[in-house]
Amino acid sequence: MRAARADKEMTNERRTKDEQKTVRAARADGERTNKERRKCGGKLKLR
């Protein structure tokens, strides 16, 4: 995962529990995954 290193600098601050969604959990809730949220400013919205 080469992209993980670039992401680390953006996500150094701690994330709350609801932000730490796995792909499966996010899909089940109809929400965005962590990666998708980072792209669009961290909003918890439907995909």
How many structural domains comprise the chain?
1
pLDDT attached to residue 12: 45
pLDDT attached to residue 35: 74
Residue 9 lies in a domain: no
The model's pLDDT over 2-44, given as tens digits with 9 standing for 90+, comes to 555 545 544 545 555 555 666 676 666 666 676 776 776 656 5
Q: Determine the structural domain holding residue 26 and report its residue range.
A: 16-42
Full DSSP string of 1-47: -THHHHHHHHT-SPPPGGG---HHHHHHHTB--HHHHHHTTS---B-
Residue 6 lies in a domain: no
- C-beta of residue 21 within 8 angstroms of C-beta of residue 34: yes
Is the whole model's pTM more than 0.95, yes or no?
A: no
Residue 1 lies in a domain: no
Instruction: Name all contacts of 37-42 with Cβ < 8 Å and 24+ positions apart.
Output: 38/7, 38/10, 38/11
Pairwise CA distance, residues 27 & 9, whole Å: 26
